[in-house]
């Protein structure tokens, strides 16, 4: 018995996905190989060159959580080789479930000044670069939940799911749209219809 390996049981038993940080084609292919060898539920995080192996990822039924889809270069140190602004659309058309990283300290600023790692902004970039509107919206909501195995509780507004959602004052892909109301677990926590929403 090795207590350190006990944490891997949920991954091996496919209760949670095996998330591999992989950007280059070679790294992604190695992750696919490992996932196949051990029958793991594969998720690629980063995925700068994932669009180049979209068919292989679809065949492996892997999810991909992309980093910054809207910036001028990739997150690979040393430059933007291998990156494509059409990557989310290519992956989606191949049948790969795509989502985006949320905001975090490692994300870069985007060309329009907001956090490039913000899922809503990346979904807008995906839409403007070939991804269908509904699929792009799912990349920032339901796909993320399903990739992480939480689709039965999160990611869409359905009976029986946790009611965390926002009502926006405009189209979700407009760069300047703001939340009008925010609900957490079904409770209204921010209401900008009043003078002081906080």
pLDDT in tens, 21-50: 999 999 999 999 999 999 999 999 999 999
Model confidence over 5-26: pLDDT tens digits? 898 999 999 999 999 999 999 9
Task: Specify the CATH architecture of the domain 3-153.
Answer: Alpha-Beta Barrel (3.20)
Please tell me the predicted confidence (pLDDT) of residue 2.
83
What is the separation of C-alpha 174 from the centre of its chain, rounded to a whole number of angstroms? 19
Residues of the chain with CATH 3.20.20.140: 3-153
* pTM exceeding 0.95: no
User: Sheet harboring 165-168: ordered strands across?
Assistant: 165-168, 179-184, 187-191
CA 54 – CA 64 distance, rounded (Å): 10
Of the two residues 117 and 88, the one the predictor is more confident about is 88
Q: Report phi then psi at 84, rounded to 5.
A: -140, 130
What is the separation of C-alpha 19 from the centre of its chain, rounded to a whole number of angstroms? 12
Please tell me the predicted confidence (pLDDT) of residue 187.
93
CB 90, CB 126: distance < 8 Å: no
In the chain, % of residues over pLDDT 70: 83
Please tell me the predicted confidence (pLDDT) of residue 133.
94
């Amino acid at each position: 018995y090795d207590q350190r390996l006990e944490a891997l049981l949920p991954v091996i038993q496919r209760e949670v996905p095996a998330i591999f940080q992989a950007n280059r084609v070679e790294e992604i292919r190695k992750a696919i190989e490992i996932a196949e060898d051990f029958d793991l539920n594969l998720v690629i995080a980063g995925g700068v060159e994932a669009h180049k192996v979209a068919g292989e990822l679809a065949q492996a039924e892997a999810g991909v959580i992309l980093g910054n889809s809207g910036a001028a270069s990739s997150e690979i140190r040393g430059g933007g080789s291998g990156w494509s602004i059409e990557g989310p659309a290519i992956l989606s058309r191949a049948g790969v479930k795509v989502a985006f990283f949320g905001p975090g300290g490692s994300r870069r600023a985007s060309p329009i000044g907001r956090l490039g790692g913000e899922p809503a902004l990346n979904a807008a970039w995906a839409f403007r670069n070939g991804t269908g509107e509904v699929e792009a919206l799912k990349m920032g909501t339901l796909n993320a939940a399903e990739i992480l195995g939480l689709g039965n509780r999160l990611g869409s507004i359905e009976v029986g799911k946790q009611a965390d959602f926002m009502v926006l004052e405009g189209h979700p892909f407009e760069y300047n749209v703001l939340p009008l109301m925010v609900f957490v677990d079904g409770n209204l926590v921010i209401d900008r219809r009043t003078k002081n929403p906080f």
